[in-house]
Amino acid sequence: ILGGHVAEPHLRPHMASLQLDGEHVCGGFLIAEQWVLSAAHCTEETDGKLFQVLLGAHSLTEPEPHKRLYRVRAQIPHPGSNIHNNKDDLLLLQLEEKAELNEHVQVLRFQREDRDVAADTVCEVAGWGTVSHSGRRPDKLYQVERPVLSRDDCNHRTRHDHTITRNMMCTDSRKKDTCKGDSGGPLVCNGVAEAVVTAGSRVCGNYKKPGIYTRIAPYAAWIDGVMASVAG
C-alpha cells in the first residue's frame, strides 16, 4: 500500500495473508468459514505449491491472540483466468478446516448486485504489500482510502486504453495506491467487498495508471457453485 497508513489493529478481521514458506505473497479475505477469495495471478510463481493462509493477524511476525496459519485443501482459480491479461483474476482457497471465528477472524460479505459502484465513491483497501517505491515490505497491515474512477475515465487511451471490462473497476492511483503484494485483497466500499485487487504487475502510485480490481458481483454464481460443489 503506497501513501496509506498502518491499519487499526484487527478492524479488518476478514483479511488474509497468503503465504509460501512463511513469506507473505498476496492478500485475500474470508468469504465463508472455510473459504478465502484472492486473485488467480497469485499462484503464478508458486511452482504448484499450495499456500498457507494467515488469519487474525495485524503483524506478520509478532505473536498475537487469535492469529493462526491454516493449511489449504484446494486452490481453485477462475477457469477464465490466464497469464496474458487481468480477466477473471479470482482464486478460491478452501481451508483444510473451518476457520475458528472470533473478534479477530470474521467473514466479510461481498456485493451480489451487479451494478457499478458510483465514481468518486471513497472505498478502502488494505494489505501487507510494499509501502514504498523502493519496495519496503511492512510487518503490519496498511490501509488506504481511494475514490472510484469511472470505467470511461479508466479506459482512456492514456490510462488503461480500453482494457477495463465491465467485470473490472478502477480507483484513482495518484500517490495513494495498491502495490506489489496487495493483490488479492478486497476493495471495501460502505462495508461491503466490491472487488479484488488484481495481481497483474503494474506501476504503483502513478495517476496515469489507475488501480485495477476484479468486481465480485459478476462472479457470485461461480463462487457459490464452487463452495457448494467441493465437499465441505
Ligand X SMILES: NC(=O)c1cc2c(NC(=O)[C@@]34C[C@@H]5C[C@@H](C[C@@](N)(C5)C3)C4)cccc2[nH]1
Q: Which residues are catalytic?
A: 41, 89, 183
The one among 179, 193, 216, 223 contacting ligand X by CB under 6 A: 179
The CB-of-198 to ligand X minimum distance in angstroms stands at 5
Which of 11/203 has CB closer to ligand X?
A: 203
211: left (phi over 0), alpha (psi -120 to 50) or beta: beta
- Pick out residues in 21-60 that bind ligand X (CB under 6 A): 25-26, 41-42, 44-45
Q: Which residues pair with 195 in a beta bridge?
A: 187, 215
Under rule CB under 6 A, residue 171 binds ligand X: no
The one among 28, 77, 186, 211 contacting ligand X by CB under 6 A: 211
Which of 87/180 has CB closer to ligand X?
A: 180
| Residue 99, all three cell numbers | 476457520
Q: Are 22 and 101 in contact (CB under 8 A)?
A: no
The one among 92, 195, 204, 216 contacting ligand X by CB under 6 A: 204
Which of 45/113 has CB closer to ligand X?
A: 45
Whose cell is 499456500? That residue is 51
The one among 154, 199, 216, 223 contacting ligand X by CB under 6 A: 199
Under rule CB under 6 A, residue 2 binds ligand X: no
Among 7-15, 29-37, 48-56, 174-182, the segment contacting ligand X (CB under 6 A) = 174-182
Pairing of strands 168-171, 142-149: antiparallel
How many H-runs (helices) and E-runs (strands) does the chain carry?
2, 13
Specify the 3-state DSSP secondary structure of 187. strand
DSSP notation for 70-136: EEEEEEEE-TT--TTS-TT--EEEEESS----BTTB----B--S--PPPTT-EEEEEESS--STT-P
Under rule CB under 6 A, residue 7 binds ligand X: no
The one among 34, 38, 111, 198 contacting ligand X by CB under 6 A: 198
Under rule CB under 6 A, residue 140 binds ligand X: no
Size of the site for ligand X (CB under 6 A): 19
Under rule CB under 6 A, residue 197 binds ligand X: yes
Residues with Cβ within 8 Å of 221's Cβ and at least 6 positions away in sequence, in order, are none
Using CB under 6 A, list all residues that contact ligand X: 25-26, 41-42, 44-45, 178-183, 197-199, 201-202, 204, 211
